[in-house]
Amino acid sequence: MFSSANVIESRDSSASAFSMNRKVVRYIVVYAVLLPVLLLVHLPLIWMVVTAFKAPGFGTKLVFIPEPGQDLYTLKNFKDVLFDKDFPFYRFAWNSFVVAAGCAVVTVTICTLAGYGFAKKRFPGREMLFAALITIMLVPGIIFMVPQYRLVLKFGWINTYAAMILPHTANIFGLFLLRQHIRGLPDSLLEAARVDGASELGTFFRVVVPLSTPVMITLFLLTFVGQWSNFLWQLIVNTPDSKLLTLPVGLSFFQGQYQVQWERMMAGACFSILPIALLFIVAQRFFIQGLTTGSVKE
């Protein structure tokens, strides 16, 4: 009897040890695959930071360990970017902030209002118009640059914030995002607000907007990031002597006809990603909540 119990206990312990060994092996395999992928994904960021600290002339060289007496790493690049009189970093950064924030605010406002109309209002051709807008998303955005530029030129908006902001405020993806979210809000909430005497705008601002805040913040973040790093359009609608050049365009000045100051360019790029990283750290909870809102039906 005791021997049978010992055999059963031995089998259980062997099965438990085998299961644990399989789990350990599985974790080892998973991490062995994920770590190289993680390194590969972060390689551009690592390369940018390392290059930013390198002394002039070493930016494109595969040298990471300095030789005796060699000044391979320095902080001079960051100092030059921040305080060089020929490179108005703070003006570039301010212009980028104005354009990104302005475009994000206007985009969220337009998309929320339009999303509410498409989701809760009935009018002739609503579904057909929405389908047409979604179809436009299939067209590459660069195709619209020529007609947009001609409009900007006709309105006399070259070298103005209007040219840098307004053409990007009609965001069809943002409209789709807000429309899908607002469509899932119960009609009973809106009817209750109307019964209490709220006007249409009152219902929108008191019921729809508070319940859509996470999605609105998500759209704000996506738009802000997209416009903060927008290079081509801001280059097109501004002349080289414009006072409204943004940071991505300003960093391109480190690229000359015969050489590129990679060290300074990467130092400026390091500064340019700091606001984006800080923004995502602060609003990460709202961003994740906004992306997952409406993904599960209760």
State the pLDDT at residue 13: 59
pTM given for the model: 0.82
Question: Residue 193: CB partners within 8 Å, gap ≥ 6?
Answer: 202, 203, 206, 207
Q: Which two tokens stand for residue 29?
A: 């395999």
Q: Which amino acid is at 51?
A: T
User: With pLDDT > 90 as the criterion, what percentage of the chain qualifies?
Assistant: 45
- Please state the rounded mean pLDDT for residues 28-47: 89
The tokens for 263 are: 């060290």
Average pLDDT for 281-293: 68
CB 107 within 8 A of CB 169: yes
- Are residues 85 and 94 in contact, defined by beta-carbon separation less than 8 angstroms? no
Query: Closest Cα partner for 81 from 268, 270, 275?
Result: 268
Rg of the Cα trace of the chain? 27
Nearest Cα neighbor of 233 from 282, 156, 163, 133 is 163
Q: 1-15, 108-122, 213-227, 274-288: lowest mean pLDDT where? A: 1-15
Q: Are 183 and 235 a contacting pair, CB within 8 Å?
A: no
Residue 81 has pLDDT above 80, yes or no: yes
Structure confidence at residue 297 as a pLDDT band (50, 70, 90): very low
Task: Tell me what pLDDT residue 234 has.
Answer: 94
Q: 55-80: per-residue pLDDT in tens? A: 888 777 777 777 776 778 889 999 99
116: exposed, middle or buried (Cβ count in 10 Å: 0-12, 13-18, 19+) = buried
